Structure 1
Amino acid sequence: MGDRLTQLQDAVDQLAQQFVAALHFVHKRHDLEVLGPNDKVRDVNQEPEQREVDPLPADEFRAGMSELSRDLITKEQQIEYLISMLPGLQNSKQDQDRLIKELEEELKAAEADRQVALKERDQVLAELDKVIRSIRRP
């Protein structure tokens, strides 16, 4: 699981893909209709794979549009939630500075602990080396 910014970027990318998928669905599956009294719909007999538009029945088209709309709204709400979870929206600059200083102090303490553990490791390795070298075959 990535950090919040990575999650937010992934969600925005997914939303963009959903927009493209919705536009593709509308473009390929709408019903051909006349817009004015002089307009005509050409009857082009092409193979199903070659048709520019493959219309769905009106109820299926509306159901598909509703599903795509719900998906877009859900993704948008997920993005809003991720944005609300970003640090800094409810914190002042002073709070953020204080938090950074606390984290720096924690990091210094952890580094000191690490240095102590490294020294202990080196001491134990040296003692183990002495023990191993002192063992003689009978």
Structure 2
Amino acid sequence: MGDRLTQLQDAVDQLATQFISCFYYLAHHHDLESFGPADKIPDLKSGQPKEVDSFAPEIFQAGQLELARDLITKEQQIEYLISSLPGLDNSQRDQEQSIRDLEEELKVAEGQRLEAVKEKDEVLARLDQVLRGIRRH
């Protein structure tokens, strides 16, 4: 998984793709209806492709509902990613203090690492002495 900003960018890209899919679904599967007396639904000539492949009203509404739920789910995912970004609820001073705290933790961890390396070297030296003592006998 990438960092939070990459995840957020991916989610926004996916949301844009979902919007396009929704527009396509609505534009290509609606009922052909006239809304006024001047509206005309053109007759298709033989061999002419249909611009709209109408779905039954129940199927069309079920598809709309599913698309709407998908959009809401993706939007909630984006909201979660935004809320998890650092700095939204922290002032600059809080962030700087957090960085100082992390630097202190890093210094302590580095000290522990150096002690462990020193202890490892001492154990290796003692082991080397024991092995040399065994070879002489």
TM-score by length of 1: 0.78
Name 2:102's counterpart in structure 1.
103
Name 1:4's counterpart in structure 2.
4
Name 2:63's counterpart in structure 1.
64
1:102-126 deviation digits (Å, cap 9, x = unpaired) = 1111111111111111111122122
- Runs of 4+ with deviation above 6 angstroms: none
| Paired positions, count | 136
Distance (Å, rounded) in 1 between the aligned partners of 2:11 and 2:133: 63
Please say if 1:39 is aligned against 2:40. Answer: yes
Q: 1:42 to 1:123 in 2, by over 3 A?
A: farther
Distance (Å, rounded) in 2 between the aligned partners of 1:43 and 1:55: 14
Aligned-residue Cα RMSD (Å) equals 2.7
Aligned AA (1:40): I
Q: Give the gaps of 5 or more residues in structure 1.
A: none
Deviation at 1:44, TM superposition (A): 4.6
Verify the 8 A CA contact 1:33 1:41 in the aligned structure 2.
no
Q: 1:113 to 1:51 in 2, by over 3 A?
A: farther
Q: Give the secondary structure class of the aligned counterpart of 1:43.
A: coil
TM-score by length of 2: 0.78
Verify the 8 A CA contact 2:8 2:78 in the aligned structure 1.
yes
Q: Give the gaps of 5 or more residues in structure 2.
A: none
